[in-house]
Amino acid sequence: MSSPDAIGQFYQAQLPGATLHNTLLRAPCPFCTARAGQGEAGEIVVILNPESFFHGYFRCSKRCTPGGFHLHFARTLGLPLAEVPGFAPDREYVGHDTQYPAINLNEEVVGFRDKMTEELEEDFRREAIGPEVLREMRIGSNGRYLVYPYFQTNGFCYAARCVHPDRADDSFWYGDENFYAPEFQVFNVEEIDRCENGSLFVVEGERNLLTLRQLGFPGIAVPEAAVLDELDPARLQWVQTIFLVMRHNVESDAMARHFATRCGFKVRLLRWPDGTPKDMDLCQLAAENPTVFGKKVGLMIREARAFSPFPSPELEFHRFQERLTQEGGDSYHKVRTGFARLDESVGGVHGINILGGTPKAGKSTFFIQAASDMALRRIPVIYYDFENGRQKIYLRILSRLARLATEQIRKGDMDAAGRERYTEAAQRLSESLRWLRVVNDRKLSPEIMRRHIDFIRHETRSDYTVVVVDSLHKLPFKDISQKRSGIDGWLRQLEAIRDELGAGFLVISELDRKEGQFEQRPGLGSFKGSGDIGYSADNALVLSTLWDPFADAPPETRINELWLVASREHTPGKVAEYRLDYPFWGFIEQ
């Protein structure tokens, strides 16, 4: 029976007389045969299943040589690599150019191995680790501590980690201190080359790796999960699939995910089953029931999923349906400014809504009114203010609610009816501040904004949050000389927050002057300082004045026009006219 794939044909050509049963190719081990005095040759077993992650992996039943994939097989047997499937002559191997010292620990490792006792080996047996694996991995003892030798890619050991057999947190390094450095803390590092074009386990803890070696799997180990940050993904670039197995705790899981992010799609995280106790590791799992340990690991491998930059199709469709259900609910449709014609024109406060206008046109007043009305209706609003100050904002809200001028409130100049209105308005403002948070932080960053949104959503038990930015051009930038790129960078971040957290934005922007004058009929090109507003805004609006700032007409007669100049989903055009509600810091939609 023959295998139709190139790797299978390669092995069958090199192992004449081999038998193939199901997906396992068996033959007398050529490495045992090549070594005189080895006695009867062991059996080499090769996995030939193109659908398996371990397709092409071989190992000897007597462990006469470390197992590996087909390129390692060819190198060990001295075959021409050009004839091996998957060989690439121009590959460079990171870590092979290290300058190693002349003095090493190889002889001491032999001595440590001779000090292994039956009692220590029995401890390993309880975790399903046999003495043959201990010999293969050259595990020893110094009389008190287990010694794990860290051999390098040149086959020599320069440092070893000594671990107390009963207390894993009691350990120290021995040997050349230059090789204690985190970049050298990879146990069984030679395995990386053996697994070229194949699969490899990366495990937390040397002892946990031994359990996998007992099952016949290839792998390396780091002493603790934090060392993953020092493991250069370039060292694993020619490994096709990495199975990552960490201890079952939050810290190790976070380090694993960070490492997987750096390595990319080739990483598959082995997940512990629901209900697994905290800090469980492979040794504990093996000790619980050694007879079924292999089956449990096999199940974890089958259920492992690639660390993908994309959510699974099932999760993606679930999120779509969940979002669709939310958008059909009352909480979505209640997120409205309170200006009826504006809400009708843009469909409520969803996405990024940017409002431009000339200086003193009333942009801040317009959005303060919208923000406070939403908060009074228990819609959470975060108002990032870089224009007016928290005190002025609260005073203007109070003025509008109490129908009292700000000077009357400051001086306490009000009659009995005014005092009653003031008391009621102050109570309403006080209650609304759970839903309205005014922030003047000049060190604001996108990450801080995300934390603010998460907090207020959790605090108010709300699905949606409205974020007001007053104004876009005064958001903090690292370098004021790069204000244009800083504005565009903030717009990118607002887009991401909109998509990730479902927040709606009301953003104030300045308008640009053309030859020293503002345009009579501003359009999308009128916004100042950013060409990206046209791409980022779901709705771009302009608040323009119809009154002459030098005329003697009473302020309460001033009329503003609101225009929707661009929209992703709605028809541009005039929204409405707004009369200044003087002197109460508000607008009345005409």
CA distance 290 to 129: 9
Any idea what the CATH number is for the domain that residue 22 is in? 3.90.580.10
Please tell me the predicted confidence (pLDDT) of residue 222.
Answer: 97
Confidence of residue 40 (pLDDT cuts 50, 70, 90): confident
- Per DSSP, the residues of 138-183 read T-EE-SSSEEEEEE-TTS-EEEEEEE-SS-TT-EEEEE-GGGSSGG
Element (H, E) at 242: strand 241-245
Q: At what angle do helices 363-376 and 416-432 cross, to 10 degrees?
A: 80
The strand order across the sheet containing 19-21 reads 19-21, 24-28, 43-47, 58-60
Confidence of residue 315 (pLDDT cuts 50, 70, 90): confident
Is 88 part of a structural domain of the chain? Answer: no
Element (H, E) at 14: helix 6-14
Average pLDDT on 378-383 reads 97
Q: Taking 50 as the threshold, does the pLDDT of residue 484 lie above it?
A: yes
267 and 353 in a single domain? The answer is no
Element (H, E) at 466: strand 466-470
The tens digit of pLDDT for each residue in 425-473 reads 999 999 999 999 999 998 899 999 999 999 999 999 998 999 999 989 8
Please tell me the predicted confidence (pLDDT) of residue 403.
Answer: 97
CB 343 within 8 A of CB 337: yes
Average pLDDT on 169-189 reads 95
Its pTM stands at: 0.60
456 and 513 in a single domain? The answer is yes
Instruction: Report the percent of the chain where pLDDT is more than 70.
Output: 94
- Per DSSP, the residues of 171-234 read EEEEE-GGGSSGGG--BTTTHHHHTTTSEEEEEESHHHHHHHHHHT--EEEESSGGGGGGS-GG
Element (H, E) at 355: strand 352-357
Give the least confident one: 253-257, 363-367, 453-457, 551-555: 551-555
367 and 417 in a single domain? The answer is yes
CA distance 161 to 338: 68
The tens digit of pLDDT for each residue in 47-90 reads 999 999 999 999 999 999 999 999 999 999 999 999 999 999 99
CA distance 195 to 72: 7
* Structure token digits, residue 169: 């947190």
Please tell me the predicted confidence (pLDDT) of residue 480.
Answer: 45
112 and 25 in a single domain? The answer is no
* Torsion, CA 80, CA 85, CA 88, CA 92, rounded to 10: -90
Is 319 part of a structural domain of the chain? Answer: no
Average pLDDT on 294-305 reads 94
Q: Taking 80 as the threshold, does the pLDDT of residue 489 lie above it?
A: yes
581 and 466 in a single domain? The answer is yes
Is 462 part of a structural domain of the chain? Answer: yes
The tens digit of pLDDT for each residue in 221-248 reads 999 999 999 999 999 999 999 999 999 9
Instruction: Report the percent of the chain where pLDDT is more than 90.
Output: 78
Nearest alpha-carbon partner for 428 in 407, 403, 410: 403
Is 484 part of a structural domain of the chain? Answer: yes
Neighbours of 548 (CB within 10 A): 9
Question: How many distinct structural domains can be found in the chain?
Answer: 3
406 and 364 in a single domain? The answer is yes
Please tell me the predicted confidence (pLDDT) of residue 37.
Answer: 57
Average pLDDT on 335-351 reads 96
Alpha helices in 433-539 (DSSP H): 446-460, 483-501, 533-536
Confidence of residue 36 (pLDDT cuts 50, 70, 90): low
Neighbours of 95 (CB within 10 A): 16
* 367 or 316, greater pLDDT: 367
Please tell me the predicted confidence (pLDDT) of residue 4.
Answer: 61
For 238, 247, 382, 508, the CA distances from 263, given in Å and listed in that order, are 12, 19, 37, 41
Q: Which residues pair with 506 in a beta bridge?
A: 353, 468
278 and 399 in a single domain? The answer is no
Is 93 part of a structural domain of the chain? Answer: no
Please tell me the predicted confidence (pLDDT) of residue 211.
Answer: 98
Q: Taking 70 as the threshold, does the pLDDT of residue 1 lie above it?
A: no
340 and 298 in a single domain? The answer is no
Is 249 part of a structural domain of the chain? Answer: yes
- Our CA angle for 573, 575, 580, nearest 5°, is 140
Any idea what the CATH number is for the domain that residue 548 is in? 3.40.50.300
- Which distant-in-sequence residues (6+ apart) come within 8 Å of 450 by Cβ? 497, 500, 501
CA distance 539 to 506: 10
The tens digit of pLDDT for each residue in 529-584 reads 656 677 889 999 999 988 887 777 888 889 999 999 999 999 999 999 999 999 99
* Structure token digits, residue 393: 């904002």
For 41, 306, 453, 476, 557, the CA distances from 303, given in Å and listed in that order, are 36, 10, 35, 46, 70
Q: Taking 60 as the threshold, does the pLDDT of residue 386 lie above it?
A: yes
Is 545 part of a structural domain of the chain? Answer: yes
Is 318 part of a structural domain of the chain? Answer: no
58 and 110 in a single domain? The answer is no
Any idea what the CATH number is for the domain that residue 245 is in? 3.40.1360.10
385 and 423 in a single domain? The answer is yes
564 and 492 in a single domain? The answer is yes
Confidence of residue 481 (pLDDT cuts 50, 70, 90): very low
Q: Taking 50 as the threshold, does the pLDDT of residue 185 lie above it?
A: yes
CA distance 507 to 254: 35
Find the domain containing 424 and state its range.
Answer: 330-589
477 three-state secondary structure? coil
Q: Taking 80 as the threshold, does the pLDDT of residue 309 lie above it?
A: no
- Which distant-in-sequence residues (6+ apart) come within 8 Å of 461 by Cβ? none
23 and 168 in a single domain? The answer is no
Q: At what angle do helices 483-501 and 446-460 cross, to 10 degrees?
A: 30
Mean pLDDT of the chain: 91
Please tell me the predicted confidence (pLDDT) of residue 327.
Answer: 84
The torsion region of residue 389 among left (phi > 0), alpha (psi -120 to 50) and beta comes to left
The tens digit of pLDDT for each residue in 319-331 reads 889 888 888 888 8
Q: Taking 60 as the threshold, does the pLDDT of residue 146 lie above it?
A: yes
For 11, 37, 48, 51, the CA distances from 3, given in Å and listed in that order, are 9, 33, 8, 13
